[in-house]
Amino acid sequence: MPVVTPDIDVRRADERFATKLDWLDSKHSFSFGHHSDPANTHHGLLLVNNDDIVVPGTGFETHPHRDMEIVTWVLQGSLVHQDSTGHSGVIYPGLAQRMSAGTGILHSEKNDSWRLQGGDSHTEPVHFVQMWVVPDERGITPGYEQLEIDHELMSGGLVPVASGMPRHDGAAAIQIKNKYAALYAGRLQPGQSVELPEAPFLHLFVARGSVALEGAGPLGAGDAVRFTATGGQRVTATEPAEILVWEMHATLR
């Protein structure tokens, strides 16, 4: 790996690319779809960090993916997943979900409010963050995994959600096919704090609420921080908050 200079790069919520449709409000931390910026394509191994709100009764129709590890984290509401390998399920807050696209997979994601409300009302949007990292190898067999970790999140610490790192073997909720990357989630009450891991590359995303980052100040919902060759800072909630942290020990070449 080339020598990198320590850096803390704060990216504010309103600086993100935005896709606004009648059924979708999506904010993109990196280049995505028709939003293209050669200077903002990834950080470490993370290529996509999409902050999506989908209105009831709608969603992403069946579409393909290939050679990507896709982790979905729901903040509010529920999301119906169906894919071409025969997997289907409802993703809701506190449920870790990973889809390995591998040699190719088709899937759809729809707002599940109609299920929750017995088909009588379509009132609750689904709010989720979808994150993509590259796999170690191309052309793997597509796969799917999910596990509820709501109880673990009540601890207030950083909980391993998805990891391919050997040191997380058996500790992370779900496995991803990259041995250099791990995702943590933390639900923090005001005054609670966590210490960030140290790694060549970190990505902190404030999914909701507000926090204070040691050495950088306040962060609000939608703000992100890209750390290079650093870590160990404390993140303290100033109101109820949920954060997502990627620890990465490699970057795209």
Residue 113 lies in a domain: yes
Average pLDDT (218-243) is: 97
Residue 219 lies in a domain: yes
What is the structure's pLDDT at 232? 94
Residue 198 lies in a domain: yes
Q: Is the pLDDT of residue 116 over 50?
A: no
Number of structural domains the chain divides into: 1
Residue 1 lies in a domain: no
Asked if residue 112 lies in contact with residue 67, where contact means CB atoms within 8 angstroms, the answer is no
- Residue-wise pLDDT for 154-209, tens only, equals 888 999 999 999 988 877 889 999 999 999 999 999 999 999 999 999 999 999 99
| Amino acid at site 81 | H
Q: Spell out the alpha helix ranges (H) of 43-165.
A: 113-116, 150-153
Q: Is the pLDDT of residue 126 over 90?
A: yes
Residue 2 lies in a domain: no
Pick the closest to residue 109 from 146, 72, 134 (CA basis): 72
Domain hosting residue 44, numbered range: 7-248
Residue 151 lies in a domain: yes
Asked if residue 158 lies in contact with residue 194, where contact means CB atoms within 8 angstroms, the answer is yes
Q: Is the pLDDT of residue 247 over 70?
A: yes
Write down the pTM of the prediction: 0.93
Residue 92 lies in a domain: yes
Q: Label residue 86 by pLDDT band (50, 70, 90).
A: confident
Tokens for 207, please give them: 């999914």
* Least trusted range by pLDDT, from 14-28, 79-93, 103-117, 198-212: 103-117
Q: Is the pLDDT of residue 122 over 80?
A: no
Q: Spell out the alpha helix ranges (H) of the chain.
A: 113-116, 150-153
Q: CATH no. for residue 221?
A: 2.60.120.10
What percent of the chain shows pLDDT beyond 90?
A: 71
What is the structure's pLDDT at 7? 95
User: How many C-beta atoms surround the C-beta of residue 139 within 10 A?
Assistant: 10
Can you name the residues that pair with 43 across neighbouring β-strands?
A: 46
Alpha-carbon distances, residue 57 vs 119, 188, 198 (angstroms):
10, 31, 42
Residue 47 lies in a domain: yes
Question: Please, what is the average pLDDT of the chain?
Answer: 91
